[in-house]
Amino acid sequence: MKFPTALSVRSIAKEFDCALKGDDTLSLTGISEIHNVNEGDLIFVDHPKYYDKALRSKASAIIINKEVEVPEGKVLLLTEHPFHVFNAILKRYNPHTHFQEDQYNIDASAVIMSNVSIGKGVSIGPGSIIHPNVVIYDGVQIGKNVVIQAGTVLGSNAFYYNKKNNNYHLMHSAGGLVIEDNVEIGALCSIDKGVTADTIIKSGSKLDNQIQIGHDCVIEENCLIAAQCGIAGCVTIQKNSVLWGQVGVTSGVTIGHNVVVLGQTAVTKSLAPEKTYSGDPAVPYRMNLKQKAAIKQLPDFLEGLKKK
């Protein structure tokens, strides 16, 4: 997420009660998560597992809960509760609003059917059709000739929690959702907005009914996703790939271009392009067939061992 204007790190530290170490003359242009960070960004880290990754990242400023050596050209904002400070900054510069009429941009040729709820700053392009009972949250951008079937929810909060003292604290979702041209989304789908960046469904992709897509995902051009797929946050599915029914995808992985993932496959790591996969966990299809054939032979194999 970009700030409306560049902010001095001193002003942020003062407003959110953080101590400063390092170059306190820096100006910050945005706030981001550790997996999607650029120079000028502010990030947070509160777990030893990720200290090194955060300190070595492109981030210019890091909210942290440990006294460490400051990397050259960076600044640290020290606080006991980095997550809460990070969350407060997100809310300060990108607050949620209630649904408000006449604060969106809908092309005259778009068709909006009954009982559609549209949030602030939504854009809907020419020729798009929004079916009944769709909910479109703040800031969602919908291109031209897009079809959204009944009951779908676009731009809901990320399922992103920070656990402290046995309590779960929700991360404020300050990113957006972009649906490009000629996309079709089936009934009763749920697509989350990004946390600090955008979730993106690129042009020509088609989604079946009852699909969940998590925050900060990128579905590239001309992908096909069948019913009841569940895709966790920060996943990239490259162009021309197909996921058949009930595929589950763990967070942070990349599915290469021109991949086919067969039904009920569990994708637990990134998949190389130009292949067909199946199984739990996903492996190339022919390997999965061999594994199944070997399992069928296990009873006879074990019986033979007993006779020896």
98 catalytic per annotation: no
Q: State in Å, rounded, how far the first CA of the chain is from the last one.
A: 67
Residue 45 main-chain phi, psi, to 5 deg: -150, 135
Query: Under 8 Å CB-to-CB from 1, ≥6 apart: which residues?
Result: 30, 31, 32, 90, 93, 94, 174, 175, 196, 197
Q: Are residues 40 and 148 in the same domain?
A: no
Q: What is the pLDDT of residue 161?
A: 94
Give the C-alpha separation, 58 to 55, whole Å: 8
Q: Are residues 71 and 123 in the same domain?
A: no
Domain membership flag for residue 268:
yes
Q: Are residues 259 and 153 in the same domain?
A: yes
Residue 195 · residue 215 · CB < 8 Å: yes
Q: What is the pLDDT of residue 102?
A: 67
Q: Are residues 39 and 161 in the same domain?
A: no
Catalytic residue among 47, 169, 215, 257: 215
Domain membership flag for residue 130:
yes
Burial of residue 70, with CB atoms counted within 10 A of its CB: 0-12 exposed, 13-18 middle, 19 or more buried: middle
Q: Are residues 135 and 252 in the same domain?
A: yes
CATH for 22: 3.40.1390.10
Q: Are residues 35 and 176 in the same domain?
A: no
Q: Are residues 47 and 186 in the same domain?
A: no
Helix, strand, coil shares of the chain as percentages rounded to 5? 15, 30, 50
Residue 57 · residue 76 · CB < 8 Å: no
Q: Are residues 7 and 33 in the same domain?
A: yes
Domain membership flag for residue 100:
no
Give the C-alpha separation, 232 to 218, whole Å: 11
Give the C-alpha separation, 229 to 208, whole Å: 9
Give the C-alpha separation, 139 to 300, whole Å: 60
Domain membership flag for residue 267:
yes
Give the C-alpha separation, 264 to 249, whole Å: 10
CATH for 259: 2.160.10.10
| pLDDT tens-place values along the chain, 308 residues long | 999 999 999 999 999 999 999 999 999 999 998 888 999 999 999 999 999 999 999 999 999 999 999 999 999 999 999 999 999 999 999 887 766 666 889 999 999 999 999 999 999 999 999 999 999 999 999 999 999 999 999 999 999 999 888 999 999 999 999 999 999 999 999 999 999 999 999 999 999 999 999 999 999 999 999 999 999 999 999 999 999 999 999 999 999 999 999 999 999 999 999 999 999 999 999 999 999 899 898 888 888 887 76
Q: Are residues 255 and 116 in the same domain?
A: yes
Query: Under 8 Å CB-to-CB from 222, ≥6 apart: which residues?
Result: 203, 204, 205, 239, 240
Pick from 93, 123, 141: which residue ends a domain?
A: 93
Give the C-alpha separation, 56 to 110, whole Å: 47
Q: Are residues 180 and 33 in the same domain?
A: no
Q: What is the pLDDT of residue 218?
A: 98
Domain membership flag for residue 139:
yes
Predicted structure pTM score: 0.91
Q: What is the pLDDT of residue 54?
A: 95
Pick from 65, 93, 121: which residue ends a domain?
A: 93
Q: Are residues 51 and 134 in the same domain?
A: no
Domain membership flag for residue 297:
no
Pick from 61, 93, 125: which residue ends a domain?
A: 93
Residue 64's SS3 state is strand
Domain membership flag for residue 308:
no
Closest to 218 in 3D by CA, of 183, 182, 178, 190? 178
Q: Are residues 122 and 200 in the same domain?
A: yes
Domain membership flag for residue 89:
yes
Residue 92's SS3 state is helix
Query: Which domain, by its residues, includes 225?
Result: 105-286
Q: What is the pLDDT of residue 101?
A: 61
Q: How many domains does the chain fold into?
A: 2
Give the C-alpha separation, 228 to 49, whole Å: 33
